[in-house]
Amino acid sequence: MRQYNSLRDIRTDIANGQVSCRQLVEQYLRNIKEKAELNAFLEVFEEEALAQADAVDKKLASGTAGKLAGMVIGIKDVLAYEGHSLQASSQILNGFKSLYTAPAVQRMLAEDAIIIGRQNCDEFAMGASNENSSFGNVLNADDHARVPGGSSGGSAVAVQADLCLASIGSDTGGSVRQPASFCGVIGLKPTYSRISRYGLIAYASSFDQIGTITRSVEDAALLLEVMAGADGMDSTASQREVPAYSQLLQADDKKYKIGYIRDCFEREGLDTEVKDAILGVKDMLRDAGHEVEAVDFPYLDFMVPTYYILTTAEASSNLGRYDGVKYGFRSENVTDLTSLYKKTRAEGFGQEVQRRIMLGTFVLSADYYDAYYTKAQKVRRLIKEKTDELLQQYDFLILPTAPTTAFKIGENTANPLAMYLADIFTVQASLAGVPAISIPVGRDANGLSIGLQLMTRSFEEPQLLAFSNYILDKITVEA
Ligand code: GLN
């Protein structure tokens, strides 16, 4: 069976009788088994996926199938799916099963998506390399000695290695975009609030957003269209109408105004091959008649500290609920309630999660609250205002998704600060709440993928997706 890059191709072949959903699922299941060493899936829903495939095949035959019929999807281990285990790759949720299904997942099922399994990630989505999972590393399929990025590492590798057509991840500070960049696939983080977060395990609630990892922009658009929209269970979910994103992908002849953030390109630590590739796209866009200008963004140095102060503060609060009483794992041999809390949390949470809870508790403590938390909130406001101001002048801001291509396993584990700096280019969109996408635009001398990141104004996903499609088409034509 051929490798499919979009649901459109699959549907064409289904219509021609060349493939069925059952055959598709069987093929993905074979791939998952053959490439088990990648460790992308924590659990595969083999029987269920096959049964769902048969049901969808019937619906297709009778002309009653939904929009996502034929789409085989993996979900990151942070999304609730009723009756299925849910652990955020952590031991503290050992044995926990979801009591309900996240609306984002429910809406995909209602459109006849097939869910093939639960994917490995960094514990509680905290990380940039998938090395913080309590279920072991995920390997980058292009080079097994390298990380896939994180925290949605399993989700990105699953799409990269053809273990499913698309994955649903979460992006708090880059967790969909950066692994997509490292794995040569497309990662979309929609506007904050575009998709309900109900049923998404919380890391930092004012940043968290569900996102997609796909091989085509069209599939990203389709999944967004299905998942987005108001939800009574998440009052922060936007009430705005959901456009038919997948119908709005045709690039018109419009010439856009594009800003590239000069400071990012002058940054020490930016790999020269990444830099050249992104500047190459910039030149290509200028040659195509778009107005491309360098812009200054004075807050680059504040981005990572602001992000880590605010997200750890929110995490320390969100993760307070894992106390050994309500969910999953409970330590044995405890003498009283305090020791139950302490032992459960010390044994159940991994090192990075503990580090962040402590950091977050510190920045929220009475003596330091104003110096850290309040100040970081103010800086976040400045970053948001400046980003919005630039996006009033420019239709898109372009920058690298990450300063490097996929790094080696173990390369950054001894130095958390070096690891945090991997997020330098992705956290801006998260701090500002604007939508951003990573698309693969080239490869370095080692054959590793390079991702270009585009940001646009809040809720302008239609132009973000259409323009991404346009760039990818242009790159293929010129290659
Ligand atoms: N690497 C970032 C972090 O560790 C992003 C994580 C995410 O988006 N969930 O916080």
SS3 label, residue 33? helix
Mean per-residue pLDDT for 175-181?
Answer: 98
DSSP state, residue 143: B
Tokens of 88: 């955020």
Helix (H, G, I), strand (E, B) or coil at 279: helix
**Secondary structure class of 411 (helix, strand, coil):** coil
Q: Which domains, and CATH codes, for the chain? A: 1-479 (3.90.1300.10)
| Percent of the residues in the chain that have a pLDDT greater than 90, as a whole number | 95
In a 10 Å sphere around its CB, with 0-12 CB exposed, 13-18 middle and 19+ buried, how is residue 447 labelled?
A: exposed
**Considering only 126-140, 198-212, 261-275, 363-377, which range has the smallest mean pLDDT?**
261-275
Q: Which residue has the tokens 């302490």?
A: 342
Contact 352/416 with Cβ under 8 angstroms? yes
How many angstroms is it from 92 CA to the middle of ligand 1?
19
Q: Which pLDDT band, with edges at 50, 70 and 90, does 1 fall under? A: confident
Residue 478 pLDDT greater than 80, yes or no = no
Cα of 119 to ligand 1 centre, how many Å? 16
- Which band of pLDDT confidence, cut at 50, 70 and 90, is reported for residue 418? confident
**DSSP assignments along 348-374, one per residue:** HS-HHHHHHHHHHHHHHSTTTIIIIII
Q: Is 279 exposed, middle or buried (0-12, 13-18, 19+ CB in 10 A)?
A: middle
Whether the per-residue pLDDT at 251 is higher than 80: the answer is: no
Are 55 and 21 in contact by the 8 Å Cβ rule? The answer is no
Q: What are phi and psi of 102, to 5 degrees?
A: -60, 140
Among 50-59, 84-93, 244-253, the least confident range: 244-253
In this prediction, residue 421 has a pLDDT band, given cuts at 50, 70 and 90, of: confident
The pLDDT value recorded for residue 299 is 95
The 10s digit of each residue's pLDDT in 34-78 is 999 999 999 999 999 999 999 999 999 999 999 999 999 999 999
Instruction: Compute the distance from residue 401 Cα to the ligand 1 centre, in Å.
Output: 13
β 257-261/291-295 pair status: parallel
Q: What angle do CA 455, 469, 148 make, to 5 degrees?
A: 70
Distance CA 263, CA 282 (A): 15
Task: Decide if 57 contacts 147 (C-beta within 8 A).
Answer: no
Pairing of strands 436-443, 186-189: antiparallel
pLDDT band for position 439 (cuts 50, 70, 90): very high
Q: CA distances (Å), 477 to each of 16, 181, 423, 431, in order? A: 28, 21, 31, 35
Nearest-atom number in ligand 1 for the CA of 311 is 10
> In 290-434, which ranges are continuous DSSP H helix?
300-318, 337-348, 351-364, 375-393, 416-421, 427-432
- Ligand 1 lined by 127 (C-beta under 6 Å): yes
Neighbours of 89 (CB within 10 A): 31
State which of 76, 78, 122 you would mutate to test the pocket of ligand 1, scoring each by most atoms of that ligand within 8 A of its C-beta.
122
| Type of residue numbered 434 | V
End-to-end CA distance of the chain: 26
* Alpha-carbon torsion angle 61, 218, 170, 150, nearest 10: 110
